[in-house]
Amino acid sequence: MGKNIQLTVYGAEVLCPSCVNLPSSKEQYEWLQAAIGRKFGEDAIQYKYIDIFKPPEESQYKEFAERVVEEDMFYPVVLIDDEIVGEGNPKLKTVYKALEERGLEPQA
């Protein structure tokens, strides 16, 4: 299996204006976690959810949360390690591809 991979989702309780008919950021985070766990297992990925309006004090999270707000990015914004792989309505196919590029293999 691949190395330990960090998947971070930046979102908010309030839906982004362009995402009215989509699930909330938190619901999409939980959906991604479940879908990825089914395909790749639970061990190789660490998950973190960051509220863009109440980010933790660690500068990396705080700075990116501010960037999401300032640049009017569609949220949730999904990062694998430090690469943006989804914005607004993340696509599983794109997320899976990014995970496979980092050495993860689907479970049999």
Q: At what angle do helices 25-40 and 92-101 cross, to 10 degrees?
A: 50
Note the pLDDT of residue 16.
66
Concatenated DSSP letters of 29-58: HHHHHHHHHHHH-SSSEEEEEEETTS--SS
Per-residue pLDDT tens over the stretch 18-45: 666 778 899 999 999 999 999 998 888 9
Helix, strand, coil percentages (3-state) for the chain, rounded to 5, are 40, 20, 40
Q: Is 15 exposed, middle or buried (0-12, 13-18, 19+ CB in 10 A)?
A: middle
pTM: 0.90
In which residue ranges of the chain is pLDDT below 50?
1-2
